[in-house]
Amino acid sequence: MAGYRNRFLGRALYDVLNEVERGLRSLLSRPASLVMGMISAPLWLAFFVLSLEGYGLSLGGLTIQLLIWISYSFSLYSTWLWEFGQGMLDEHQDGVLEYVMGSGSSLFRHVMGSGLALLIYTVLDLAVILASFAAVFRVEPTIMDPAAFFISVVMASLSLLSLASIYAIMVAGLRSSWVVTDVLQFILPAVGGLLPSEFSPAIRLINEYSPLAYPFVLMRESATGVNELGIPIQLQLAYSLIFTAIMLGAAWLILGKADERLRRTGSLGLR
């Protein structure tokens, strides 16, 4: 029994690593897109943030630091919904998922491997945003608690990975799923901790009671050193871990059921 379990875990790890390699090759096969992101990031950040200054917002001290992490949080939401969630839908339309499932891998292993590859991209995205703020606004980004910050980024990414994969499975049959993705790109950040609690009592209420918000709030707090909810960091970390585990469990369950149904019906590509 132990030998079988070890072989199963070894095969699962092998499949995930293969999917990571596949995901990295896919990302690196589009160098123009990566370069365009690096070039455009400073431009849209300057336009967005300087527009706020035109409305009387003082760009200094804590405000500019918060804007850094608002920008990165929105980038995470956009990346996971578009690059990952919409990417899964494109894979099913192009027959890639049919090939993956036909090769013996599972939907969940494919999702985890592709997600780990995309996580590397989000780190690159963070570097571009930090460099953009440093170049455009002459500000040095601060990360007061690097360990908590790293954990919060991983938890935020895993939560969004799970959410995006569940979403992709649920809307796979829609012809214009990109419309739903576009709407969710703005709805989810609104209830998912994009904005600091200091902005208004309503936002503070959302951040305090929305499970999706906790990793993003923790990200800002570990970067700025400001506890915006007044809840102990250890408790926020526990809430974030519990929610992330629930999301991963839900993704594993839903993708597993979808995988089983698709193999039973012979519709390997979500068709």
CA 257, chain centre distance (Å)? 23
What is the pLDDT, as a whole number, of residue 8?
A: 47
Instruction: Report whether 152 contacts 76 (CB < 8 A).
Output: no
Coil, strand or helix at 29: coil
What is the pLDDT, as a whole number, of residue 243?
A: 94
Burial group, residue 192, by CB count within 10 angstroms (0-12, 13-18, 19+): buried
What is the pLDDT, as a whole number, of residue 57?
A: 59
Instruction: Report whether 219 contacts 156 (CB < 8 A).
Output: yes
What is the pLDDT, as a whole number, of residue 268?
A: 57
Nearest Cα to 65, choosing from 123, 149, 121, 122? 149
What is the pLDDT, as a whole number, of residue 54?
A: 58
pLDDT by 10-residue block (mean), the chain, 271 residues: 51 59 61 61 62 60 82 85 76 69 73 78 83 80 90 92 86 70 82 87 91 93 90 91 94 86 66 51
Instruction: Report whether 38 contacts 129 (CB < 8 A).
Output: no
What is the pLDDT, as a whole number, of residue 129?
A: 84
Considering the entire predicted model, what is its pTM? 0.79
- C-alpha 156/C-alpha 150 separation (Å) is 10
What count of other Cβ atoms lies within 10 Å of the Cβ of residue 32? Answer: 7
What is the pLDDT, as a whole number, of residue 106?
A: 75
Nearest Cα to 193, choosing from 150, 169, 162, 159? 159
Nearest Cα to 196, choosing from 238, 229, 233? 229
Q: Structure tokens of 94? A: 């192009």
Give me the DSSP letters along 88-109. HHHHHHHTHHHHHHHTT--HHH
Instruction: Report whether 165 contacts 111 (CB < 8 A).
Output: yes
Q: Which residues contact 94 (CB under 8 A, 6 or more apart)?
A: none
Coil, strand or helix at 151: helix
What is the pLDDT, as a whole number, of residue 168?
A: 82
Q: Structure tokens of 169? A: 């499975």
